[in-house]
């Protein structure tokens, strides 16, 4: 049923009103009864309900990734979709990217949430990893890790990444929310802090930044 008069917004919203099912057919005001012009001679009321605004159980966010490297073989783009219960708990992160160079030797790419919601040339304005708890860099499954440490994503033979990550530290609600932070994909694999390089304990020796985006709250439909 499509109706052009019923509205959920504005001064004539029906939110907070009721819906009623009647016993008889509505005669649309043409039945000739005394009540036809008032109620459609619809008879007694069989059932009813109150129209309430739906309370969503989840919060959603999206991050539209793009490259800023100047390298034609690494034209990474796509979207990261995030979903979490409004009460907290694990966050679902759906990664859908393409444009990686399938001919190089770097199939794994470090993937992090960074502290600033700014990007700039080569994504350098995004700052360091989002680390509100002041911890060392580590793997997603380590207790001692940055909130933004999401490990690695893996490209396929077509230069695409299609995967889902479930993470219990990244959040869309509360004091450590990643809304308005940034996400960055790096050129190399994250060594999870175990590589022995000078920057292993801070960045995972992940190399240059290939692509980035800002995490923004969205509706379910995006």
- What's the token pair of residue 124? 């350098």
Q: Which residues are catalytic?
A: 112, 114, 129, 137, 146, 149, 186, 209
Q: Would you give the distance in Å from CA 66 to the centre of its chain?
A: 16
Q: CA-to-CA distance for 219 and 62, rounded, in angstroms? A: 9
CA-derived radius of gyration, the chain: 26
- What's the token pair of residue 144? 């001692």
3-state secondary structure of 190: coil
Contact 193, 129 (CB under 8 A): no
Q: Going by C-beta distance under 8 Å and a sequence separation of 6 or more, which residues neighbour residue 12? A: none
Torsion of CA 34, 40, 41, 44, to 10 degrees: -140
Cα angle 192, 197, 103 (rounded to 5 degrees) comes to 70
Q: Nearest CA to 182 among 153, 164, 209?
A: 209
Contact 186, 199 (CB under 8 A): no
């Amino acid at each position: 049923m499509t109706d052009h008069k019923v509205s959920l917004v504005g001064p004539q919203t029906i939110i907070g009103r009721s819906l009623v099912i009647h016993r008889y057919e509505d005669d649309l005001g043409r039945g000739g009864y005394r009540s036809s012009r008032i109620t459609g001679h619809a008879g007694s009321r069989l059932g009813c309900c109150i129209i309430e605004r739906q309370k969503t159980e989840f919060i959603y966010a999206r991050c539209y990734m793009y490259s800023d490297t100047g390298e034609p073989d690494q034209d990474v783009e796509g979207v990261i979709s995030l979903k979490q219960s409004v009460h907290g708990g694990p966050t679902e992160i759906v990664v859908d990217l393409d444009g990686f160079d399938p001919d190089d030797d770097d199939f794994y790419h470090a993937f992090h949430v960074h502290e600033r919601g700014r990007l700039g040339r080569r994504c350098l304005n995004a700052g360091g990893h989002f680390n509100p708890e002041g911890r060392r860099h580590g793997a997603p499954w380590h207790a001692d890790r940055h909130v933004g440490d999401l490990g690695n994503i893996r490209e396929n033979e077509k230069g695409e990444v299609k995967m889902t990550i479930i993470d219990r530290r990244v959040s869309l609600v509360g004091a450590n929310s990643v809304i308005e932070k940034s996400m960055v994909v790096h050129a190399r694999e994250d060594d999870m802090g175990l590589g022995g390089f000078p920057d292993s304990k801070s960045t995972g020796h992940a190399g240059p930044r290939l692509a980035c985006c800002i995490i923004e709250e969205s509706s379910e439909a995006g």
